[in-house]
């Protein structure tokens, strides 16, 4: 008699601490994405050392970010914070003249209660450059949530969709509905594309992606007769999308819950709750959900997905039946676990620093459906996991692979557990159909390395040395 497979999601919370990278590292990819921006990180020398190491900037490079280092005089309130920041911003304006300056608040600004939001509007009028304030401190936010705070702050700077445009859209919609009501049923179905072509300029995607990946996703939607009206963030600050109550928004990363909330509450946008476009299955579900909202029937998606799976056969043969354990670091864990499950892997546990169950509702449902389809037990989901307890569980389960933060990789390798840095998935191109191969490339690299060592006869020698 076969054992009954669990089909319910189990959520747990352990220590309540974030065991992640510092969120100010979001500067690493955001300053490259927003080409006319300048990031000013307000913190201590420790923050500066971290950024220098995390970004790996060459000595001759001129990145568009700088550190406003707090000295003892700043922390003890002996110096005027406003005057110091004004001096730095004037120098930035003279040297770079960016379209926007983004202040990144750190743990130091939180502890000494620096009023960044109060100073920014006054200084903005003086230097005549927009100043956006984003708090990306490690006390309140996990690694990738630094981007979330920056994008949420930028939402307030997005222009409002004009009332004239809104009235025009409403009149067009009413007129189209009147036309459709007089048409035969078959004609109505065909006319859905006409109906949605009038509204397709109301879709805004939010989340930072390399330009090539953003273009790929835009083309995938364009093949389904959906045109994107803008991205948040845009490549240039001056090209921020227009937002309003007639605009639909959809996220491409699971760590942007604050941005999604701000878009809905402050700009009255309509959020499309969809699984995230990671893996062929996730990308197809993401496109299908967007199309269903605009009442557009998809075409060629199944064949497109099947062609990608065919190209991944070599990787699938390698990972099928293998087990993986997610310790939790970058908030991509739910999507990253769902895709390997679809590839035939077994996921013992999904550790995640923070999860908004409302924003990730579609992804969680998709995870449950994937486990049911693959006849695999539902993984355990642990929010804010205790790393010590996780290591004890790994000793018992003996997974083939652990996806973990950099701090634990070497100790786990020394205990005979294959590891992969979770931060690599953050910086790699993993979205869309064409980048599914890159996800499996990262997952299988430790497994392929072991196979090569076995072929060379080194595995037994390494085990003897460890013993």
Q: How confident is the model at residue 164 (pLDDT cuts 50, 70, 90)?
A: very low
133 & 177 share domain: no
Q: What is the model's pLDDT at position 74?
A: 58
**pTM of this structure:** 0.85
Among candidates 223, 301, 363, 216, which has minimal Cα distance to 231?
216
Query: How much of the chain, in percent, has pLDDT values that exceed 90?
Result: 62
Helix (H, G, I), strand (E, B) or coil at 347: strand
Asked whether residue 4 is domain-assigned, the answer is: no
Q: Which structural domain range is residue 123 located in?
A: 23-141
Which tens digits make up the pLDDT trace of 361-396? 999 999 999 999 999 989 999 999 998 999 999 999
Q: What is the model's pLDDT at position 3?
A: 38
Which tens digits make up the pLDDT trace of 303-313? 999 999 999 99
The owner of tokens 């390798």 is 413
Residue 457 CB contacts under 8 Å (≥ 6 apart), including other chains: none
88-99 CB burial, b ≥16 within 10 A, e <16: bbeebeeeeebe
Asked whether residue 336 is domain-assigned, the answer is: yes
Question: Is the Cβ–Cβ distance between 12 and 383 less than 8 Å?
Answer: yes
315 & 204 share domain: no
Give first-to-last CA distance, the chain, whole Å: 40
- Phi and psi torsions of 340, nearest 5°: -60, -35
| Last-in-domain residue among 274, 298, 322 | 298
Q: What is the model's pLDDT at position 182?
A: 34
Q: How confident is the model at residue 125 (pLDDT cuts 50, 70, 90)?
A: very high
285 & 330 share domain: no
Q: What is the model's pLDDT at position 76?
A: 54
Among candidates 351, 335, 348, 353, which has minimal Cα distance to 436?
335
Q: What is the model's pLDDT at position 360?
A: 95
Q: What is the model's pLDDT at position 230?
A: 93
Give me the CATH number covering residue 428. 3.40.50.1980
293 & 226 share domain: yes
How many structural domains is the chain composed of?
A: 3
Helix (H, G, I), strand (E, B) or coil at 249: strand
Asked whether residue 13 is domain-assigned, the answer is: no
Q: Name the least confident of 17-31, 50-64, 433-447.
A: 50-64
Q: What is the model's pLDDT at position 166?
A: 47
312 & 282 share domain: no
Q: What is the model's pLDDT at position 75?
A: 58
Task: Enter the DSSP assignment of 129.
Answer: S
Quote the CA–CA distance of 31 and 51 in Å, as a whole number. 13
Q: What is the model's pLDDT at position 322?
A: 94
| Last-in-domain residue among 269, 298, 327 | 298
Q: Residue 163: pLDDT above 60?
A: no
Average pLDDT across the chain, whole number = 84
Q: How confident is the model at residue 189 (pLDDT cuts 50, 70, 90)?
A: very low
Helix axes 436-456, 459-466, angle to 10 degrees: 80
104 & 197 share domain: no
Query: How much of the chain, in percent, has pLDDT values that exceed 70?
Result: 82
């Amino acid at each position: 008699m076969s054992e009954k497979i669990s089909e319910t999601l189990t959520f747990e919370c352990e220590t309540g601490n974030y065991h992640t990278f510092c969120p100010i590292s979001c500067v690493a990819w955001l300053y490259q994405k927003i080409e006319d921006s300048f990031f000013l990180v307000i913190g201590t020398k420790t923050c500066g050392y971290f950024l220098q190491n995390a970004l790996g900037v060459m000595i001759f490079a001129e990145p568009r970010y700088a550190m406003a280092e707090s000295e003892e005089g700043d922390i003890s309130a002996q110096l005027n914070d406003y005057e110091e920041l004004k001096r730095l911003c004037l120098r930035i304006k003279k040297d770079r003249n960016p379209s926007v300056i983004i202040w990144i608040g750190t743990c130091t600004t939180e502890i000494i209660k620096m009023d960044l939001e109060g100073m920014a509007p006054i200084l903005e009028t003086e230097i005549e450059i927009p100043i956006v304030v984003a708090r990306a401190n490690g006390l309140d936010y996990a690694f990738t949530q630094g981007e979330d705070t920056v994008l949420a702050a930028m939402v307030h700077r997005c222009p409002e969709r004009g009332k004239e445009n809104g009235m025009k859209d409403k009149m067009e919609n009413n007129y189209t509905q009147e036309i459709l009501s007089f048409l035969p049923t078959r004609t109505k179905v065909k006319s859905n594309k006409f109906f949605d072509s009038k509204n397709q300029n109301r879709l805004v995607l939010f989340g930072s992606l390399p330009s090539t990946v953003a273009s790929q996703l835009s083309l995938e939607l364009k093949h389904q007769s959906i045109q994107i009206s803008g991205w948040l963030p845009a490549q240039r600050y001056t090209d921020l999308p227009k937002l309003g109550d007639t605009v639909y928004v959809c996220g491409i990363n699971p760590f942007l819950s604050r941005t999604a909330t701000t878009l809905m509450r402050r700009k009255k946008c309509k959020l499309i709750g969809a699984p995230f476009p990671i893996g062929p299955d996730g990308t197809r579900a993401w496109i299908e959900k967007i199309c269903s909202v605009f009442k557009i029937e998809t075409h060629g998606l199944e064949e497109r997905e099947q062609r990608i799976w065919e190209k991944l056969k070599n990787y699938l043969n390698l990972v099928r039946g293998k087990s993986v354990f997610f310790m939790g670091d970058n908030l991509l864990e739910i999507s990253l676990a769902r895709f390997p499950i679809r590839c035939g892997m077994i996921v013992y546990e999904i550790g995640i620093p923070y999860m908004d169950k409302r924003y990730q509702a579609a992804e969680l449902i998709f995870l449950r459906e994937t486990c049911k389809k693959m006849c695999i037990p539902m993984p355990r989901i642990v929010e804010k996991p205790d790393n010590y307890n996780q290591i004890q569980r790994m000793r018992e389960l003996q997974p083939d692979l652990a996806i973990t933060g950099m701090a634990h990789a070497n100790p786990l390798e020394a205990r005979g557990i294959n590891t992969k840095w979770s931060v690599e998935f953050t910086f790699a191109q993993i979205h869309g159909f064409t980048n599914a191969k890159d996800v499996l490339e990262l997952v299988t690299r430790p497994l392929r390395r072991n196979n090569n060592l076995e072929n060379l006869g080194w595995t037994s020698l390494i085990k003897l040395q460890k013993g």
